[in-house]
Amino acid sequence: MKPNVFGCVLSCCLLVLGACATHSHALYSTDKIPILSQDTTAKMDELSSAGADEVYELVKKNLTRLQEVLKLTGKDVPPHDKDRAQQITGLFKEMWEDYKEVASKAGPIELNMTQKLQELKALLTEPNNIIEDLEKELGGLKRELSTGIQEEDEARRAIREQSLQVQIAFLDGELKTWRTFREFQINTAKKAEDMRKMVSNLMLILAENAKIYEKAYRFALANQQYDQAMRTMGGEYDKIREITTKLLDSWGMLLKAVDEIMKKYATNAN
């Protein structure tokens, strides 16, 4: 009696399809990568732009004001100039008020950044769960392959073994993809944490500058009033110039902090 070749082939095909179908439930996970990637990028953009533009514009504006103060206290400018004294006092007042206003927003800005950072880290939950499921599934397939396939028929056993090997290869590739994506999310969260710390330091610098400019304004105002009363301001302009020069020197730290923020923001925007 001739063997039923068609029946054997059909049986083997159904066996392969059944084995593949048994381990196909994790394929849904690939649909989530683009969504999670977009969410990660969006959260990073939100965090990066928290107050950065406003601070950057203020820094540029007040740097111009400081340079103007230097001009007004130059050696070629005659002393006892009422208009000059008023200008200097006015410039210091504007800088103080600007920094005081921005410094008052430090709390909400830092709170917003902390919240966005937490939301960014929360996006790691789903990839972690998916990776855990894939690792369990992959482990199960490997154990099934290593412990021996329970099939008396050699042909059927070979087919199932080959099927398991192919499934393991593809599942291993999917797992590597998710691990790579999770590493991207972890690195993004680290950059976000660094940015949060930099912004926190920058806001501290601005708050301290507000205190410095308040004192500079009070000093300039006192000398303006004294000059109006006594007309003997003379050497006080040299003191104002010395203070202004020191303030300008301190801008290196401030500008460096702002530049770092803007570079991060530009990088993430791209």
Domain with 104 in it: what CATH number? 1.10.287
Q: Is residue 256 part of a domain?
A: yes
Q: Is residue 230 part of a domain?
A: yes
Q: Is residue 27 part of a domain?
A: no
- pLDDT confidence of residue 135: 94
- pLDDT confidence of residue 92: 85
Q: How many residues does the chain have?
A: 270
- pLDDT confidence of residue 78: 60
Residue 242 has a CB neighbour count (10 Å cut-off) of 11
Residue 181 has a CB neighbour count (10 Å cut-off) of 18
- pLDDT confidence of residue 141: 92
Q: Is residue 15 part of a domain?
A: no
> What is the distance between the alpha carbons of residues 35 and 96, in angstroms, rounded to a whole number?
45
- pLDDT confidence of residue 239: 66
Longest dimension (CA), the chain: 130
Q: Is residue 10 part of a domain?
A: no
Number of domains in the chain: 1
User: Which residue, among 127, 250, 102, 117, has the nearest Cα to 183 in the 3D structure?
Assistant: 127
Q: Which domain holds residue 252?
A: 50-269
Q: What is the mean pLDDT of each run of 10 residues along the chain (270 residues)?
A: 38 41 48 82 73 72 83 65 79 87 81 85 90 94 85 83 91 92 90 82 82 84 69 58 70 59 53
Q: Is residue 28 part of a domain?
A: no
Q: Is residue 157 part of a domain?
A: yes
- pLDDT confidence of residue 114: 84
Q: Is residue 26 part of a domain?
A: no
